[in-house]
Amino acid sequence: MKNYEIVWHAADDELGVGVRDNRPSAAGVLVQLYKKAGDLSAARRAALYAIEKGSDRVAARALCFLAALDAEEGNDETARKAFDHALKKAAGGFDLPEARLGLARIDERQGHLEAALRGYEQFRDAEDLRLRATVSFARGRVLARLGDRAGAHAAYEAALEGPITDRLRNTIRQHLNALNEGTIGSQDDRPEDGQASG
């Protein structure tokens, strides 16, 4: 972490003539390092710098990080704007699945179920099997709320086949039990897929 901090905090006159400015990229890396260390305030500062000074790719990733934090804090509309902004920065140049997934989660939380389902459907054939399982669980929640019990059951079962944590496996089983017992609503008020957004 220290080396990235040195690069990020370098003064303009330390860069040298014709030397590429790596400070935004260093800040982008520090966002995740600070988050892992539990220093969200420092992570936010690094993300804001990366958004302002970084390339589209660096800025888009930092925007997704801030959007995920806002979503976790219940600031869904602020998070939605940040995810949308990140996707505009990506604009065909590179994929940004965390933004598309973040928007689908917000739609699910806000009860825009058809939009959430469309968002989750984008990940049905994801190469990342853990992501595919996580999204299958999310699809199951939405389908259950839409009244498609058979579809929800199939989605939950598919999620259980993936390489998921024991905690998520137990959560999915609870949702399956609720589906079978007809108590769907109590289990599906809020997305809980056991995977971080950012």
For 39-77, the pLDDT digits (tens) are 888 888 888 888 888 888 888 989 999 999 999 899 999
Domain edges within the chain: 1-95, 97-198
Domains 1-95 and 97-198 share a fold: yes
**How is domain 1-95 classified at the CATH fold level?**
1.25.40
**How is domain 97-198 classified at the CATH fold level?**
1.25.40
Tokens coding 21: 């400015």
Query: 40: number of CA atoms within 13 Å, CB side?
Result: 9
pLDDT reading at 38 higher than 50: yes
Whether pTM exceeds 0.85: no
State the residue for tokens 């984008």.
Answer: 122
CA gap 106, 116 in Å, rounded: 8
pLDDT reading at 153 higher than 60: yes
Residues 6+ apart with CB under 8 A from 28: 46, 47, 50, 54, 58, 61, 62
